[in-house]
Structure 1
Amino acid sequence: MSGPVDEQPGLPRGVRLGVDVGDVRVGLARSDLDGLIATPVETLGRDTAARRVLEEALELEAHVIMVGLPRSLSGAEGAAAEKARAFAAELATLLETPSPQTEVRLIDERLTTVSAHRALHSSGRKGRRHRQVVDQVAAVMILQQALDLERSSGRRGGELVEAPHHPAEQDRTEEER
Structure 2
Amino acid sequence: MPRIMCFDYGNKRTGIAVTDPLQLFATGLTTIHPKDTVDFIKKYLLSEQVESFVVGQPFQTDGTPSETAQNVKGFVTILKKSFPEIPIYLMDERFTSKMANAAIAQSGLKKSARQNKDLVDTVAAVIILQSYLERKSLNN
**Structure 1 length-normalised TM:** 0.72
C-alpha contact (below 8 Å) 1:50/1:87 kept by paired residues: no
User: Contact 1:70/1:81 (CA < 8 Å) preserved in 2?
Assistant: yes
Select the residue among 84, 100, 118 that pairs with 1:116.
Answer: 100
Q: Report whether the alignment pairs 1:148 with 2:122.
A: no
**Structure richer in helix, relative to its length:** 2
1:21-73 deviation digits (Å, cap 9, x = unpaired): 11111011100122110001111112212321343245322011101001011
- With normalisation by structure 2, the TM-score equals 0.90
Which structure 2 segments of 5+ residues have no match? none
- Aligned residue pairs: how many? 138
1:172 corresponds to which residue? none
Q: Which runs of 5+ in 1 are unaligned?
A: 1-12, 155-177
Look at both structures and tell me which one has the larger radius of gyration over its CA atoms: 1
What is the aligned partner in structure 2 of residue 105 from structure 1?
89
Contact 2:15 2:118 in 1 (8 A): no
Name the CA distance, whole Å, in 2 between partners of 1:55 and 1:29.
15
8 Å contact kept, 1:21–1:68: yes
The amino acid across from 1:132 in the alignment is D
In 1, distance between residues paired with 2:97 and 2:46? 27
Q: CA RMSD in A?
A: 1.6
Tell me the distance in 1 between the aligned counterparts of 2:55 and 2:46.
16
For each residue in 1:62-101, what CA deviation from the matched residue of structure 2 results, as whole angstroms up to 9, or x when unmatched? 01110100101111002211111111111111002xxx1x
Asked whether the equivalents of residues 69 and 107 of structure 1 are also in contact (C-alpha less than 8 Å), the reply is yes
One-letter identity of the residue aligned with 1:33: P
2:19 equivalent among 26, 31, 37:
31
Structure 1 runs of 4+ aligned residues shifted over 2 Å read 53-59, 127-130
Instruction: Quote the Cα distance in structure 2 between the aligned partners of 1:72 and 1:134.
Output: 19
